[in-house]
Amino acid sequence: MKHWKTAIKTIVLCAGIVMLFSCGKPKQASNAAAAADANAAGAGDMVIGVFIPGVMAGSATYEMLAQGVERAGKEKNVAVRVVEAGYNQAEWETILTSMAASGSYSLIVSSNPSLPAIAESVSAKFPKQKFLLLDGNLAGNAAIYTVRYNQTEQAYMAGYIAALEARDLGGTKVGLVAGQEYPAMNEIIMPGYIRGVQAVDPSFTVDFRVVGNWFDAGKAASLARDMIARGAKAILCIAGGANEGVVQAANESGAKVVWFDSNGYAARPGTVVGSSVIRQDKLAYEKTLLFLEGSLPFGAADIVGVAEGYVDFIEDDPDYKTAVSETIREKQADMIARIRNGSLVLQE
């Protein structure tokens, strides 16, 4: 009798184990597969790839890029995949080529001034692949649409607040720390920044330094400290993750920092006194929607700025109001108003 009871218990136990593995787990797998099938069916097998030339962590512009595309994809029930290519620019074309060669992406979206040339090279090998490139410029390729920001306006606004703050601190010099040199930096951003600075005072000078990458905060701090020692009272930083080094150096000495592309006041309240920004999430969302609706004008190259609502200066942040005197804020606001109403035209 005891043997029969033991056998029955064993059978019941085994049955329970079989049910656990044959009923529970396949159900989870089945649900995941069903969700994937539903997404694929709803999207018509369409997938949009977001190529990040770097990493998203610590880069507000790339985070905004992905957010904008994902918002459009969600609205149209289209899958979005994000690929981070890392900091080694020599590998970007290889990774982008792999994405195009896979045939998986109806559209590849990216943002960087260097991407149009890379995408054009990839397009020659895979002409059916479509590209939407923000913050870049290339016209005439039927597979590529580019739209860039009026960075003359953006840099001018940054230079203006930097000079106002530097003058208030008794200086006649400002700085700019860049991650790297590239055509847009040398030909658009730097000249625009100088124009903004010298609109406040023509005698002001600009000290320009280059980190050599987008992550070395230690080197950026060293460059900023030397700038400050040589008289720079305010510094514009465009160095990605290395920006923190500039902020640290300025905070130690009482100098000021101006941020670029995103709202940076929270990086160090009281030290960061200006943020000239781009609305990357808005632009990525709207242009991706145009593609999904069949209206993106491939082959064209557009430029957007303050008037279109894609370039701006953050004036309503509480940290800005606390860090910057009312007199300087009024002067900055008057300059921005003149750009918005068209009385101050800043063309590249």
Would you give the DSSP letter of residue 187? I
Residue 143: what are its φ and ψ, rounded to 5°? -105, 0
pLDDT mean values, one per 10 residues, the chain (348 residues)? 38 34 30 32 74 91 97 98 94 98 98 96 98 97 98 98 98 97 94 98 98 95 98 96 96 98 96 98 98 98 96 98 98 97 92
Q: How many residues does the chain have?
A: 348
pLDDT tens for residues 24-68? 332 222 223 323 333 333 345 899 999 999 999 878 999 999 999
Q: Is 235 exposed, middle or buried (0-12, 13-18, 19+ CB in 10 A)?
A: buried
Domains 47-149+281-304 and 151-278+315-340 share a fold: yes
Specify whether domain 151-278+315-340 bears CATH 3.30.930.10: no
pLDDT tens for residues 205-240? 999 999 999 889 999 999 999 999 999 999 999 998
The DSSP bridge partners found for residue 147 are 134, 302
Angle at Cα 239 formed by Cα 55 and Cα 328, nearest 5°?
Answer: 125
The full set of domain ranges for the chain reads 47-149+281-304, 151-278+315-340
Against a cut of 0.85, is the pTM above it? no
- In a 3-state reduction of DSSP, which class is residue 179? coil
**Chosen CATH of 47-149+281-304 out of 3.20.20.220, 3.40.50.10470, 3.40.50.2300, 3.30.1600.10:** 3.40.50.2300
Q: How many Å apart are CA 100 and CA 49, to the nearest integer?
A: 10
Do 221 and 245 form a contact (C-beta atoms < 8 A)? Answer: yes
Angle at Cα 69 formed by Cα 67 and Cα 73, nearest 5°?
Answer: 115
Q: How many Å apart are CA 283 and CA 168, to the nearest integer?
A: 36
Strand order across the 107-111 sheet: 79-84, 47-52, 107-111, 131-134, 144-149, 301-304
Do 91 and 51 form a contact (C-beta atoms < 8 A)? Answer: no
Q: What pLDDT score was predicted for residue 123?
A: 98
Element of type H or E holding 342:
none
Q: What pLDDT score was predicted for residue 57?
A: 87
**Cα-based distances in Å from 70 to 48, 88, 154, 295:** 9, 25, 26, 18
Neighbours of 133 (CB within 10 A): 27
Q: How many Å apart are CA 273 and CA 234, to the nearest integer?
A: 9
Q: What pLDDT score was predicted for residue 44?
A: 55
